[in-house]
Chains A and B, each alone.
Chain A
């Protein structure tokens, strides 16, 4: 009781809710009945609860929760793997390599990541600094990367800079010489799957004093990033962007994040010829931030259709081995990652799954008032304390650890020793729609 007496009301309130929340995250995946209002077609009750369980234990769920697919009725949810008979599986003790190179060109640092996944851009302001720290620390621990998003580079992330991608987006928020120089990878965000053809949105309620200071904008005023880059009308203009980054940081790899229009294959090839090391396709069903509902559903094609289109075109242009193709936008599970790779990607970029691991229920109220009631997509000083960075870090690491277990198991059953061998192996997929 002495400890209670010595604490402020705010400390006690935060502690109380953190304890309750953590109990709840542990309770629901093991309960006989799921919360009735939880889940949707893409992220079903089972997928959310399975992700919570993986984030807690680091283990693959074994209590009957469906952790591989959702119930959207299309895309990854109608694909499965042709698992050969058991006599063709590799021995259980076979070492399976999940690493992929991020630079397939001769120039620049030869970076590789230990998992075929890294964290996608979520901006400061759209998510809390605690969440950014958790993601950065987890990326460091896992030997992969996370991206700043377009809201700037908080100083608290600098200790993890070797695992942080600096995003340069159309609003250019927080893009400074030093943030380019920190970065092993600089990501140009030309478009994003959550709102293809539109710029980033940060609504006024979340543009707090500190967020506005980071973005060099006015507090409490909504920020709608322009679309597209006002300095880019062509692949040649894009090349100038790449040169600008290389002048500032010659070591940095360049990633180009684009969405999925009808000519996504041409866009990808153009990006490659302009010097990109990584082409990052962001399909139309992804995204974590605020987006007009009309854009989420209706603009640009889902990632499942874009990956093979781009992969095939890069092959036909004889440049497939010189570029890393990362996919995102509705990649929810380890099996989605594997399917994306079998369709032709090298790896995937994850966003929503990480947020779910740290407590997101996908209620979609990120932009309402003070922001996320779970302290994730908010900059409210009290709310963001609900997700301590060290807890979040461990949850994200645990989730990816469970993903890695699933990927290794799948590859072993498919007779593959490396995730790199899976790329473009459409013959290992079957349609179950």
Chain B
């Protein structure tokens, strides 16, 4: 069975890319967001007084402040249904003496110190609904901070080529190219291209699925592969995970290690892209021999930028750069800065246009994707958010790419998992369109390296507050 790209209409030759979403509710019951505590004696007293006061007017007596069904069970407020609570606080405002709403500490334990429960909540909403999270009452978080939180994207007041963003008719392209493009083309006397020619493939959104460091794939690998195939993107999987997924050959990117050189035939299909886990001459030769048309990417760390440029000059044209799951390099650098450094190294070498930079690690929210691209990535290979979308629980701190433990639900079904990942991709893509629309960009490829359309807290704060008593650049 083959899986056509989402939204494809082969009979017309044209399709406008669209990700079909549908609700995919949680299969694992997670702790409610709020704890609802009702002092039953207080409630009983209230009921008695209201029975007397309202002379048995049942609808008046039973009218409770909650609109969300917390107190609408068979025994009302005596057994509140916490899972319905949205934290509006109307009940505790009306009855401060005996109703108390608290954040549920069990919910706040979801995730870890980097992938905090707020991010988990967001991913859960996105993957269950496929929608862009929309809420009222403004921004609620910290002013800024380190890393992603200290960066804002630009917008255009009036002059922009796109109009209505995700709600309008004009297309904003999210297609990205992966592979090699020469800085310029050369032609012979007959007008035929000579020398290096482009070797790229296009995917419909700048989101890849990265399962390349998950030792126990099982059903998750098949979910990644099928979802990637249906989305017309790529799923990076270990060699063992990739074996047997030939039906998704267009989408599967096997990660190969030196020991795999002799058994490439076991893969059972010809991949369009492969990743080498670190450089190895023999492995490279074996891949070239077995899959001569495949694009070969180097999967490695961000930190050694001179080495990256050297690899590019030796012929590697696609780099999948890795930080740990908390976005850190072994030396402690943060992924936002690591991306900028890598991008700049290729720009300085004059070969940025020739290479593709993919990145993973620490990019766990929709907004991190455009920010990472502004810093220099061509596309983001998403890792831990996929696991959260599949309702995986974190086994403690999960920073390490090799030693972290994620526990997937026992009842994981492929159809449900695929829909969750498609919903997540749809939500993130729509949020990307919001950013692109606000910036006035018609295609995501123009976002790459657009540092002039980003604002950083340190710079803005220095511009605004320099000269104030107590302010130093060190702040």
A5 at the interface (CB under 8 A from B): yes
A-B contact pairs, 15 of them (CB 8 A): A12-B60, A17-B65, A17-B94, A42-B143, A198-B165, A285-B138, A285-B139, A289-B136, A297-B139, A297-B141, A298-B371, A302-B143, A302-B144, A359-B93, A431-B471
The reply to whether A75 and B143 contact each other, CB–CB distance below 8 Å, is yes
Question: Are B101 and A36 in touch, CB under 8 angstroms?
Answer: yes
Contacts of B137 in A (CB 8 A): 287-288, 352, 355, 360, 362-364, 366
State the CA gap A73–B475 with chains docked (Å). 12
Which residues of chain A are within 8 angstroms of B133 by Cβ–Cβ distance?
292-294
Q: How far is the CA of A31 from the CA of B86 in the complex (A)?
A: 23
* Inter-chain contacts of A258 with B (CB < 8 A): 157
B438 x A197 contact (CB < 8 A): yes
| Cβ–Cβ contact A298 & B103, under 8 A | no
The answer to whether the Cβ of B367 comes within 8 Å of any Cβ in the partner chain is yes
A360→B288 CA distance, assembly (Å) = 64
Q: Which of A137-145, A259-267, A403-411 contacts B (4 or more CB under 8 A)?
A: A259-267
Q: A175 contacts which chain B residues (CB < 8 A)?
A: none
Contacts of A72 in B (CB 8 A): 141-143
Q: Is A35 an interface residue (CB 8 A)?
A: yes
Q: How far is the CB of A5 from chain B (nearest CB, A)?
A: 7
**B453 proximity list for chain A (CB < 8 A):** 262
Q: CB distance A426 to B134 under 8 Å?
A: no
Min CB–CB distance B462 → chain A (angstroms): 10
> Is B63 in contact with chain A by the CB < 8 A criterion?
yes
Since A237-B158, A359-B93, A431-B468 are in contact, a sample of 9 more A-B pairs with Cβ atoms closer than 8 Å, ordered by chain A residue number, is: A73-B144, A226-B168, A262-B452, A291-B138, A293-B133, A293-B134, A294-B367, A301-B152, A366-B135
A4 at the interface (CB under 8 A from B): yes
Residues of A within 8 A of B434 (CB): 197-198, 292, 294-295, 299
Alpha-carbon distance A285/B86, docked complex (angstroms): 22
- 7 closest Cβ contacts across the A-B interface? A197-B438, A74-B143, A366-B136, A197-B155, A24-B93, A20-B94, A431-B471
Least CB distance, B59 to chain A, in whole angstroms: 5
Are A297 and B367 neighbours in the complex by a CB distance under 8 Å?
Answer: yes
Interface residues of A in 73-123 (CB under 8 A from B): 73-75, 77-79, 82
- Indicate if the CB atoms of A430 and B470 lie closer than 8 Å: yes
Chain B residues within 8 Å of A304, by CB: 464
Cβ distance B149 to chain A, nearest Cβ, rounded Å: 8
Contact partners of B468 in chain A: CB under 8 A: 79, 426, 429-431
Bound together, the chains give a CA A361 to CA B91 distance in angstroms of 12
A residues in contact with B101, CB < 8 Å: 35-37
Asked, given contacts A298-B153, A330-B138, whether A12 binds B57 with beta carbons under 8 Å apart, the answer is: yes
**Contacts from B to A (Cβ < 8 Å):** 34, 53-55, 57, 59-60, 63, 65-68, 86-90, 92-96, 100-103, 122, 132-145, 149, 151-160, 163-165, 167-168, 366-367, 371, 431, 434-435, 437-440, 452-453, 455, 457, 460-461, 463-465, 467-471, 475
A309 with B86: CB separation less than 8 A: no
Q: A287 — which chain B residues lie within 8 A by C-beta? A: 137-139
| Cα–Cα, bound, A103→B208 (Å) | 54
Interface flag for A218 (CB, 8 Å): no
Instruction: Tell whether A203 is near chain B: CB-to-CB under 8 Å.
Output: yes
Residues of A within 8 A of B103 (CB): 36-37
Residues from chain A with Cβ under 8 Å of B168 in the complex? 226
Q: Say which residue of B86, B154, B158, B366 sits within 8 Å of A363 (CB atoms).
A: B86
Q: In the complex, which residue of chain A has the Cβ closest to the Cβ of B470?
A: A431
A299 to B158 CA separation, bound complex (whole angstroms):
15
Q: How many residues of A contact B (CB 8 A)?
A: 108
Contact residues of A between 171 and 217, Cβ < 8 Å to B:
190-191, 194, 196-199, 201, 203
Q: Which residue of A is nearest B65, CB measured?
A: A17
State how many angstroms separate the Cβ of A137 from the closest Cβ of chain B: 23
Selected from B63, B139, B158, the residue in CB contact (under 8 A) with A17 is B63
**Neighbouring B residues of A77 by C-beta, 8 Å:** 143
Closest chain A residue to B454, Cβ basis: A262
Q: Which residues of B contact A290 (CB under 8 A)?
A: 134-136
Which of A56-64, A158-166, A228-236, A315-323 lies at the binding interface? Answer: A228-236
- On whether the beta carbons of A295 and B438 are closer than 8 Å, the reply is yes
- Report A330-370 CB contacts with B as 1/0, cut-off 8 Å: 10000000000001000000001001000111111111111
The answer to whether B165 and A227 have CB atoms under 8 Å apart is yes
Q: Whole-angstrom distance from the CB of A79 to the nearest CB of chain B?
A: 8
Residues in B whose Cβ lies below 8 Å from that of A364: 135-137, 140
Cα of A35 to Cα of B138 in the assembled complex, Å:
20
For residue B136, which residues in chain A have a CB less than 8 angstroms away from its CB? 126, 288-291, 364-367, 377
Chain A residues contacting B54 (CB-CB under 8 Å) are 4, 12
Contacts A42-B138, A373-B90 given; does A299 touch B152 at CB 8 Å: yes
The complex places the Cα of A284 from the Cα of B435 at a distance, in Å, of 13
Question: What chain A residues lie within 8 Å of B158 (beta carbons)?
Answer: 190, 228-229, 232-234, 237-238
- A26–B165 Cα distance when bound, in Å, is 44
Interface 0/1 of A7-40, CB less than 8 Å to B: 0010011001100110111011001000111101
A249 to B156, CA, bound (A): 29
Chain B CB within 8 A of A374 CB: yes
- Find chain A residues with CB under 8 A from B431 CB: 292, 294
Known A-B contacts A24-B93, A37-B102, A362-B137; A369 and B67 likewise in contact (beta carbons under 8 Å): yes
* B142 CB contacts on chain A under 8 angstroms: 41, 72-74
Chain A residues whose C-beta falls within 8 Å of the C-beta of B86 in the assembled complex: 363, 365, 368
| Pair B164/A228 contact, Cβ less than 8 Å | no
Q: In the complex, how many angstroms separate the beta carbon of A136 from the nearest chain B beta carbon?
A: 21
**B157 CB, nearest partner CB in chain A, Å:** 5
Complex CA distance for A68 and B232, rounded to whole angstroms? 52
Cβ contacts under 8 Å, B165 to chain A: 198, 227
The smallest C-beta distance from B109 to any residue of chain A, in angstroms, reads 17
Quick check: B63 and A13 within 8 Å, CB to CB? yes
A197–B439 touching, CB < 8 Å: yes
* Known contacts A17-B94, A24-B94, A432-B470: A308-B55 contact under CB 8 Å: no
Q: How far is the CB of A148 from chain B (nearest CB, A)?
A: 18
Cα A407 to Cα B88 in complex, Å, equals 32
A33 to chain B: closest CB distance in Å?
9
Residues of B near A244 (CB, < 8 A) are: none
Q: What are the residues of chain A within 8 A of B102 when measuring CB–CB?
A: 36-37
A359-407 interface (Cβ within 8 A of B): 359-370, 373-374, 377, 383
Tell me the bound Cα distance from A77 to B470 in angstroms. Answer: 14
Contacts of A259 in B (CB 8 A): 155, 157
Q: Does A55 contact B (CB under 8 A)?
A: no
Nearest to B151 among chain A residues (CB) is: A298
Residue pair B140, A267 in contact (C-beta under 8 Å): no
Chain A residues positioned under 8 Å from B156 (CB to CB): 197, 228, 261
Known pairs A17-B63, A294-B434, A433-B475; A261 contacts B138 (CB<8 A):
no
B159: chain A residues within 8 A (beta carbon): 233-234
A368–B87 Cα distance when bound, in Å, is 12
- Give Cα A336–Cα B141 distance, bound, in whole angstroms: 17
Q: Name which of A258, A301, A433 has the most chain B CB atoms within 10 A of its CB.
A: A301
**Contact among A31, A224, A233, A237 for B96, CB-based, below 8 A:** A31
Pick from B88, B139, B157, B457: contact of A228, CB below 8 A: B157
A431–B159 Cα gap in the complex (Å)?
36
